[in-house]
Amino acid sequence: MAKYTVKRLLYSALILFFVMFLIYVLMYNMPMGFIETKARELASRPGASKSYSEWLADLNAQYGMDKGIVQGYFTWLKSAVRGEWGESWSWTVPVTQKFHDTVWYSFALGLVSFILEILIAIPLGIAAARKQYSFTDYFTTVVSMICISMPTFFLATILKYVFSVKLGWFELTGMQGRNYQYLSDFGKFLDVAKHFVLPAITITIISIGGLMRYTRTNMLEVLNADYIRTARAKGVPEKAVINKHAFRNTLIPLITTLGGSLPSLFSGALITETLFGIRGIGYASYYSMTQADIPFTMFYLAFISILTLLGNLISDLLYAVVDPRVRLS
């Protein structure tokens, strides 16, 4: 296991090296006039600490624009490895500081939605497979197809109209209520949590459809296997057949899907956070991209790449846990 983990980490590091090179190439090939324009904009802001020439020199030096593409990449990569990602152009604070200030909101929202997705989608998928062609199966299929096909902005708009405009249970947007500053610490926590209810419901509904269908399909394949029919013929209780034999083997393909969900826990839900005014990493990345904030955008893309590779590694390692037939070498 340790040998396999080290080997996969080395492969992941190599892949990440080339992915970050592609990210840098995209930035490097932007017109030089863009850097000059950004330097002029930064220098003209109220309270700017640097002049135009200083900003231009700093930007060129920071991203290796005054060197060849290969040498410039290694210059930028060296700074990135040291954690020096520069200052965000749109937020006027260090990139890592803005990331730290926003990522935990997205993580809390993503974690709650992820847990709800598992608790709802997997049991419903198993129930639909156990009762194939029944009302439960048809109902689950219809619900899953609606969830899959429904656009995020449409569902969010409906939820806001019903629960915010008509019923008045939640605020339309934002993360804090009008009396937030007068609340106790626990009251502030409850106030923020209340503003996360509708975004969490939106992400959960959009997510459960695909996992529900995937679980049903894999469960049906396992239930039709020869060893399941043999277990039933020997008189093994149906509950043991499902929980001990079928579900364990259904988990194997599900791990790939669940492991691939790791980036979403930290990357944020760009559309949902924007619609509900949640100042998480998804909203911050969207705003940075619209403002051509190269430092923050490059950091965000590199961060997502790392999480994706880490999610794949975790999926591979979990294979050996749920399936003894898998040997890691």
Identify whether residues 47 and 134 lie together within a single domain.
Answer: no
Task: Determine, yes or no, domain membership for 91.
Answer: no
Identify whether residues 257 and 217 lie together within a single domain.
Answer: yes
Q: Write down which residue in 32, 51, 81 finishes a domain.
A: 81
CATH number of 315's domain: 1.10.3720.10
Identify whether residues 237 and 274 lie together within a single domain.
Answer: yes
Provide the H-helix boundaries in 131-225: 135-149, 152-160, 185-195, 197-223
Cα Rg of the chain, angstroms: 24
What are the contacts of 186-194 at 24+ separation with CB within 8 A? 194/170
Task: Determine, yes or no, domain membership for 146.
Answer: yes
Q: Write down which residue in 27, 51, 81 finishes a domain.
A: 81
What's the number of domains the chain is made of?
A: 2
Q: Is 174 left (phi over 0), alpha (psi -120 to 50) or beta?
A: left
Task: Determine, yes or no, domain membership for 86.
Answer: no
Task: Determine, yes or no, domain membership for 87.
Answer: no
Identify whether residues 108 and 146 lie together within a single domain.
Answer: yes
Identify whether residues 36 and 173 lie together within a single domain.
Answer: no
What are the contacts of 133-141 at 24+ separation with CB within 8 A? 137/216, 140/212, 140/216, 141/213, 141/216
| Six-digit token string for 54 | 């200083």
Task: Determine, yes or no, domain membership for 229.
Answer: yes
Q: Write down which residue in 81, 110, 137 finishes a domain.
A: 81
Identify whether residues 19 and 151 lie together within a single domain.
Answer: no
Q: Which residues of 183-192 are buried (b: 16+ CB within 10 A; e: fewer)?
A: eeeeeeeebb
Q: Tens place of pLDDT for every residue, the chain, 329 residues?
A: 677 778 888 888 899 999 999 988 887 776 655 677 777 877 887 777 788 888 878 777 766 677 778 888 888 888 888 888 888 878 888 999 999 999 889 889 989 998 999 999 999 999 999 888 899 999 999 999 999 998 988 999 999 999 999 998 888 888 888 888 888 888 888 888 899 999 999 999 998 998 899 899 989 988 888 888 888 888 888 888 888 788 877 877 777 777 767 777 776 678 888 889 888 898 898 888 888 788 888 899 888 888 888 888 887 777 767 666 666 65
Identify whether residues 209 and 71 lie together within a single domain.
Answer: no
Identify whether residues 166 and 276 lie together within a single domain.
Answer: yes
Helix axes 2-28, 69-81, angle to 10 degrees: 130
Q: Which residue has the tokens 């060849």?
A: 68
Task: Determine, yes or no, domain membership for 88.
Answer: no
Identify whether residues 8 and 33 lie together within a single domain.
Answer: yes
- From residue 325, give the alpha-carbon distance in Å to each of 217, 249, 322: 22, 11, 9
The domain in which residue 53 lies consists of 2-81
Identify whether residues 70 and 166 lie together within a single domain.
Answer: no
Q: Which residue has the tokens 């806001």?
A: 160
Give dist(CA 251, CA 143) in Å, integer. Answer: 22
Identify whether residues 202 and 293 lie together within a single domain.
Answer: yes
Task: Determine, yes or no, domain membership for 261.
Answer: yes
Identify whether residues 110 and 184 lie together within a single domain.
Answer: yes
Task: Determine, yes or no, domain membership for 166.
Answer: yes
